[in-house]
Amino acid sequence: MKIKENVILAPFTTFKVGGSADFYCRPENYEEIREAILFAKDNGLKTFKLGGGSNVLISENGFRGLVIHLASFDKIKIEDCKIITGPSLAVDTLAEKAAINSLSGLEFAGGLPGSIGGAVYMNARAYGDSFENIVESLGIIKSDGNLKELSVEELNYSYKSSSLMNTDNIIIKIVLKLKPGLKKDILNKTQTNKEKRINNGQFIFPNAGCIFKNNYDIGIPSGKIIDELGLRGTSIGGAMVFEKHGNFIVNKGNATADDIRELVEFVKKTVLEKKSITLEEEIRYVGF
Ligand SMILES: Cc1cc2nc3c(=O)[nH]c(=O)nc-3n(C[C@H](O)[C@H](O)[C@H](O)COP(=O)(O)OP(=O)(O)OC[C@H]3O[C@@H](n4cnc5c(N)ncnc54)[C@H](O)[C@@H]3O)c2cc1C
């Protein structure tokens, strides 16, 4: 496998910002993932696993290490009510495939950006449903290069969190357990959820979805807290708090990663000062 040097990462992210990775590879099979892990070990490099790039903010200075881009693992198999897939399959495509096969459980993910690997890693959720409700097990490659199966119980799923976060494990197989249903209804619900996202303007400007997690103890969504402070439309450089959704920061076209990071910090500081609430980022920082 070719390991490239100085690869610009911005095009691989939905924010469309970020500098270069010192080293970058796009493995196409399990052996190549092992090769990448070994390369990093031999050269004392940190690694970062990149999926669809829809939940990351990559620094302007890029990443000092090896980016392992999981972009070539999109094989899918459907066995009765189970879907077995590689991590690179787009969540939206997966939701559509489930619907076409009369399988219910993925309707909430209609139109959700990113790959299924990233979605099960961080327990993505929408419309009151989340991946923890449909994951049966995952296949991972551990940092020693060995394969392991993890049951859903071992993933310790909770709100936007799993036991995989902050580990070096690479998800290479996802097994989802769905339920049989009426194709027409499933297709309809999946499509409606996708259209809601389009109508909310989520795809007008490059962004990474919600910046902050919701704190259910407070009971007010983070977006609403930001709205109440009149922060919609606030800009730093090319980054702006989205006018249609307070929890989105968008790249108006010429934003840098630093603009976005600065605006995130400004929103956090304002919310803390004015409401005594500490917002916690949902997006993952890379290379900061
Ligand atoms: C317009 C828009 C709307 C969004 N709406 C929502 C929403 O409603 N709900 C929601 O939860 N999210 C939302 N998001 C965020 C994003 O879609 C999800 O978090 C998505 O699941 C991330 O997947 P990804 O492949 O893009 O992950 P990436 O951004 O590539 O990575 C995210 C994290 O997952 C890790 N990762 C990715 N693939 C693997 C793998 N194979 N093995 C190990 N680790 C891996 C990465 O290392 C990183 O830490 C939205 C994003 C956008 C742009």
Summarize pLDDT for 257-281 with one digit per residue, the tens: 999 999 999 999 999 999 999 999 9
Torsion of CA 104, 155, 222, 50, to 10 degrees: -90
One domain, residues 115 and 220: no
* Residue 75 CA to ligand 1 centre (angstroms): 19
CATH of the domain at 277: 3.90.78.10
One domain, residues 23 and 126: no
Q: Can you tell me the distance from the alpha carbon of 154 to that of 4, in angstroms, rounded to the nearest whole number? A: 35
Cβ(225) – ligand 1 distance below 6 Å: no
Nearest protein Cα to ligand 1, atom 21: 119
Contact 65, 71 (CB under 8 A): no
Return the bridge partners of 47, or none.
66
Q: Can you tell me the distance from the alpha carbon of 6 to that of 20, in angstroms, rounded to the nearest whole number? A: 5
* Residue 274 CA to ligand 1 centre (angstroms): 30
Return the bridge partners of 214, or none.
none
Domain count within the chain: 3
pLDDT of residue 216: 84
**Whether pLDDT at 87 is above 90:** yes
pLDDT of residue 1: 87
* Residue 100 CA to ligand 1 centre (angstroms): 24
Domain that holds residue 263: 207-286
Q: Structure tokens of 281?
A: 């980022």
Please give the average per-residue pLDDT across 83-104, as a whole number: 98
Q: Which residue type occupies 244?
A: K
Summarize pLDDT for 44-59 with one digit per residue, the tens: 999 999 999 999 999 9
Could you identify the atom of ligand 1 that is nearest to the CA of residue 14?
53
Place of tokens 């399959």: 89
Summarize pLDDT for 111-132 with one digit per residue, the tens: 999 999 999 999 999 999 999 9
* Mean pLDDT of all residues belonging to the chain: 97
pLDDT of residue 217: 86
Greatest CA span in the chain, whole angstroms? 53
Nearest protein Cα to ligand 1, atom 9: 125
Q: Can you tell me the distance from the alpha carbon of 247 to that of 267, in angstroms, rounded to the nearest whole number? A: 10
Summarize pLDDT for 183-237 with one digit per residue, the tens: 999 999 999 999 999 999 999 999 999 999 998 888 899 999 999 999 999 999 9
Cβ(57) – ligand 1 distance below 6 Å: no
- Choice from 24, 70, 112 to test ligand 1 binding pocket (greatest atom count within 8 A of CB): 112
Cβ(124) – ligand 1 distance below 6 Å: yes
- Provide the 10 A C-beta neighbour count for residue 148: 12
Could you identify the atom of ligand 1 that is nearest to the CA of residue 126?
8
Helix (H, G, I), strand (E, B) or coil at 239: strand
Among 142, 171, 199, give the residue marking a domain's end. 199
**Whether pLDDT at 239 is above 90:** yes
* Residue 52 CA to ligand 1 centre (angstroms): 7
Q: Can you tell me the distance from the alpha carbon of 103 to that of 133, in angstroms, rounded to the nearest whole number? A: 14
Among 31, 54, 69, give the residue marking a domain's end. 69
One domain, residues 83 and 27: no
One domain, residues 149 and 88: yes
Among 172, 199, 226, give the residue marking a domain's end. 199
Summarize pLDDT for 165-175 with one digit per residue, the tens: 989 999 999 99
pLDDT of residue 211: 98
- Provide the 10 A C-beta neighbour count for residue 14: 18
Summarize pLDDT for 11-43 with one digit per residue, the tens: 999 999 999 999 999 999 999 999 999 999 999
Contact 145, 30 (CB under 8 A): no
The rounded Cα 25 to chain-centroid distance in angstroms is 19
Strands 82-85, 76-79: parallel, antiparallel or unpaired by DSSP?
antiparallel
pLDDT of residue 232: 98
Could you identify the atom of ligand 1 that is nearest to the CA of residue 160?
11
CATH of the domain at 83: 3.30.465.10
Cβ(207) – ligand 1 distance below 6 Å: yes
* Residue 120 CA to ligand 1 centre (angstroms): 9
* Residue 117 CA to ligand 1 centre (angstroms): 8
* Residue 55 CA to ligand 1 centre (angstroms): 4
pLDDT of residue 201: 96
